[in-house]
């Protein structure tokens, strides 16, 4: 897959993923890039913001409802003419279905798409502890390409 892409994930729900993701999408669209938006999971609210910000239909990427190879094919088919695919995660980076047999988290989608991850965290009331938190996210699964 030669499609430029990034996953924007958070440490947990409510950390600002949708606001930051939609802002980045809008900025890049206004700068003249064709941004293809995505949302991890079966969500319809956040994709409506993405669609408005980019003038492109936002699509869902879900490993609970779709097998990995089908999800990858859908991604390639829908993103092949874009300048950049931006994928907003769901909940926290490693959160997914409660059954450990299913790999449905944002991290799993990022690994399946070989996409770097931008991690959003709320650092209010902390200083160096934020670095320790990010290090934990990075070391939890070395297969996740935490890029920033």
Going from the C-alpha of 15 to that of each of 19, 43, 103, the distances in angstroms are: 9, 17, 22
pLDDT at 46: 95
30's enclosing H/E stretch is helix 17-30
In whole angstroms, give the CA distance from residue 133 to residue 66. Answer: 31
pLDDT at 96: 85
Name the pTM for this structure. Answer: 0.95
Any idea which residue has 């502890």 for tokens? 129
What is the per-residue pLDDT across 51-96, written as a single tens digit (0 to 9) for each?
A: 999 999 999 999 998 999 999 999 999 999 999 999 999 999 999 8
Q: Cβ atoms within 10 A of the Cβ of 25, count?
A: 26
9's enclosing H/E stretch is strand 5-10
In whole angstroms, give the CA distance from residue 5 to residue 1. Answer: 10
In whole angstroms, give the CA distance from residue 90 to residue 139. Answer: 20
Which two structure tokens, joined as six digits, stand for 31? 């700068």
Which residue, among 143, 117, 114, 118, has the nearest Cα to 2 in the 3D structure?
Answer: 114
Confidence of residue 97 (pLDDT cuts 50, 70, 90): confident
Q: Is the pLDDT of residue 1 over 70?
A: no
In whole angstroms, give the CA distance from residue 90 to residue 96. Answer: 8
DSSP secondary structure code for residue 146 in this structure? B
pLDDT at 103: 86
pLDDT at 101: 66
pLDDT at 6: 98
């Amino acid at each position: 897959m030669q499609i430029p892409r990034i996953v924007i994930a958070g440490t947990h729900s409510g950390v600002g993923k949708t606001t930051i993701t939609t802002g980045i999408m809008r900025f890049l669209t206004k700068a003249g890039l064709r941004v293809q938006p995505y949302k991890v999971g079966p969500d319809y609210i956040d994709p409506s913001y993405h669609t408005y910000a980019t003038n492109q239909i936002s699509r869902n990427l879900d490993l609970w409802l779709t097998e990995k190879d089908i999800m990858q094919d859908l991604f390639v088919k829908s993103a092949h003419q874009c300048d950049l695919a931006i994928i907003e995660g769901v909940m926290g980076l490693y959160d997914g279905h409660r059954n450990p047999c299913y790999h449905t988290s944002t991290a799993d989608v990022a690994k399946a798409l070989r996409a770097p991850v931008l991690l959003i965290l709320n650092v209010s009331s902390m200083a160096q502890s934020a670095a320790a938190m990010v290090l934990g996210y990075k070391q939890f699964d070395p297969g996740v390409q935490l890029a920033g």
